[in-house]
Structure 1
């Protein structure tokens, strides 16, 4: 069997094991048995349990980023990447539709690969270097969301100060909310929401609020 096929089997088994038991409790014996190989072969290919877990994180991270960027069109070869053209709340296209498609892709991916998402979501609690890998994932996604929100805000007539100060915070909040919603959606056993339904929940929460902020209707504790 080609090495890449055998290694993929090991990573599949490892992702399932780490998702089920966590990093500390997962057994290398069980992972090897699930992959249909000997434990020495797992160590030969992936050297250590830490390296195996890191390889799982990196594989799932790359797959998730690829799905989200593909959903927004950020990786299109024709150069038709993220460009703002819709104003929040206008029902237009541009950044609004790209963000919507990106969220749908995110939730579709985390629903289709719940074990991979579980590994990513829990990895930051396992210390370095795993937390650093997850921080890199979050930074990639947040950068893309910030780009879309920022361009929409500027095109809608907001000043540069708003775009720099508010949009960055909104992007971080949106990414954090998306992560939490993915955990919530995957934990449901009844009335499981579809990826589009979960994405719509987040769009209603964030995009509608951004539209009001752009129009100058901001919340104040003194109202």
Structure 2
């Protein structure tokens, strides 16, 4: 069997095991058994449990970022671009719950170097969403109406909300990816719409 295929089998088994059992509880023995290979072969290909977990994080991070970016077609209206990106995010996390558990729960709670690997993925998604918000601002009011710092902050808030909502949706029976995406889209776009029109909340206005 080609090395790439064998590695993919090992990583698939590792993602499932880490996602369902957690990094600490997962053993190389059960990963090897699930992959249908010997434990020495896992070590031969992927060196250590830490290296295996890092490889899982990198692969699943790249897959999630690629899914979100591929869903947003250039030329769509700004609201449609944001919707397609959100829908792709929630669809991917729903279809790969073990991978999302690895990225959202396991990697972030076990320190370095795992947290740094997830941070790279998050930075990519935040940068992408910042671009979508900037496109929405330009479509609505032209250049210069929404400060770069505002767009960056809004993107951070939106991505953080999406991450939390994806975890909740995966743990709540009956909540579809489309429903989760619509929940966040309604919350975000209605607020963005007012912001694009120059309507800003302030304590003094109440």
Q: TM-score range by the shorter chain?
A: over 0.9
Q: How many residues align?
A: 204
5+ long unaligned stretches in structure 1: 74-80, 84-92
Matched, 1:51 2:51: yes
SS at structure 2 position matched to 1:23: coil
Identify the match of residue 79 of structure 2 among 87, 96, 99.
Answer: 96
Identify the match of residue 122 of structure 2 among 138, 151, 157.
Answer: 138
Aligned 8 A contact 1:150 1:163 in 2: no
Matched, 1:169 2:153: yes
Aligned 8 A contact 1:19 1:118 in 2: yes
Q: What do residues 166-211 of structure 1 show as CA deviations (whole Å, max 9, x unaligned)?
A: 111111000000001110110012xx22222111111111111011
Matched, 1:113 2:84: no
Structure 1 residue runs of 4 or more that deviate by more than 6 Å after TM superposition: none
Deviation at 1:159, TM superposition (A): 6.1
Q: Match for residue 180 of structure 2?
A: 198
TM-score norm. by structure 1 comes to 0.87
More helix by share: 2
Q: What CA distance in whole angstroms lies between the structure 2 residues aligned with 1:163 and 1:95?
A: 17
Q: What CA distance in whole angstroms lies between the structure 2 residues aligned with 1:102 and 1:216?
A: 25
Matched, 1:182 2:190: no
Q: What CA distance in whole angstroms lies between the structure 2 residues aligned with 1:183 and 1:174?
A: 14
Deviation at 1:3, TM superposition (A): 1.5
TM-score norm. by structure 2 comes to 0.94
Q: What CA distance in whole angstroms lies between the structure 1 residues aligned with 2:155 and 2:16?
A: 31
Q: Match for residue 64 of structure 1?
A: 64
Moved more, 15-24 or 44-53: 15-24
Deviation at 1:158, TM superposition (A): 6.2
Q: What CA distance in whole angstroms lies between the structure 2 residues aligned with 1:102 and 1:161?
A: 23
Matched, 1:20 2:9: no
SS at structure 1 position matched to 2:146: helix
Q: What CA distance in whole angstroms lies between the structure 2 residues aligned with 1:72 and 1:159?
A: 22
SS at structure 2 position matched to 1:160: coil
Aligned CA RMSD, in angstroms, stands at: 1.4
5+ long unaligned stretches in structure 2: none
CA 1:13–1:23: 2 relative to 1, 3 Å: same
Matched, 1:126 2:119: no
